[in-house]
Amino acid sequence: MSTGKALGRAAGLIALKGLAALVQLLPLPAGLAVGRRLGDLMRLLSRKRRHVAMKNLCLAFGDSLTQAQRQKIVRESFQSFGMFPVEVMKFGRMEQEEADRRVDISSLYPDILELQRHGKGILLITGHIGNFEIGARCLTSRGHEVIALARESRDRGTTEMMTRARARLGIRVVTLRQSLRPVLAGLKRNAIVAIICDQNAADVFVPFFGHLTGTADGPARLALKTGAPLLFFCTVRRGSGRYAALSYGHLWAEPTGDTPADVQRITAELNRRLEQMIRDYPGQWLWFHDRWKSSPVGRSAVLPAVS
């Protein structure tokens, strides 16, 4: 790692710790305002990320959005990212009565109860839309075991800090570098395994916003291996410090004997559900992640000037 990158990550960790100390002193609405300003600052300082976000919006929506509409979504996307750590920190120390008042899980919870009746656990599938963590808090508080299968941050200190924050929400974290045994054992105990799976990968190429896109095949393979249903959801902001955990339906991974074809089919459906969430709440998705990086269309896309 270069000295510049190392210093940048160290500065980022210090800033994150400073933010954690600050937001604990503020009520949630004020903390969210700080998060939005942090997102604005990141947007202004990172021309590269703004470029990626605009490119992705052009790929996803073509000419159906005006330049002004794209810029609005990019601005909201950065603000959403800035609010995310504030929410994790605040909800980790929030009284349960207040958390229940702020997060409506009436869309998601009936599906959780119904699918757990089968005793195979649940693969809870979402993306970087709104804030997954606080939706999970409302499940762990009701006695459900939630395991998050997550990528490690490039910075060890940030990974450890976020793992502690998730632990305060009742979420156990298993990283992709670890053995999957805790995940498989959890599903046998009828646990909920949450997977954020909207990042670039090169496992399998399936449609996403009309383009063949490199996508992780882990959720499909886990579903085929264990028989656990996939339940698609996102927790979105509804304004004034209120949230809704929304169900986008479930899918049983029925094996046909042709595993590659099954993986392709299930992953394509996963992308379709995630795409619908993003279309419903475009300003709350992480547009500045290079989602189409491994796709030829992502590398060759031409986009308008970035301001």
The overall longest dimension of the chain from CA atoms, in Å, is 56
pLDDT for 307 equals 42
The answer, as to whether pTM is greater than 0.85, is: yes
pLDDT band with cut points at 50, 70 and 90 for residue 294:
confident
Higher pLDDT, 168 or 98: 98
Q: Which of 305, 224, 301, 284 is nearest to 61 (CA)?
A: 301
By three-state DSSP, how is residue 272 classified? helix
pLDDT for 262 equals 97
Residue at token pair 């996803």: 60
| Token code pair at residue 52 | 């990626």
Higher pLDDT, 40 or 18: 40
Q: Which of 207, 244, 223, 235 is nearest to 60 (CA)?
A: 207
Per-residue pLDDT tens digits for 186-196? 999 999 999 99
Q: What is the mean pLDDT of the chain?
A: 89
Q: How many CB atoms lie within 10 A of CB 298?
A: 19
Element (H, E) at 126: strand 122-126
What's the half-sphere exposure (Cβ side, CA atoms, 13 Å) at 207? 8
Per-residue pLDDT tens digits for 35-82? 999 999 999 999 999 999 999 999 999 999 999 999 999 999 999 999
Mean pLDDT of 238-242: 92
In the chain the first and final C-alpha atoms are separated, in Å, by 30
pLDDT band with cut points at 50, 70 and 90 for residue 8:
low
Q: How far is CA 54 from CA 20, 29, 62, in A?
A: 30, 29, 11
Q: Which of 274, 8, 259 is nearest to 125 (CA)?
A: 274
The C-alpha torsion from 126 through 131 and 132 to 138, rounded to 10°, is -140
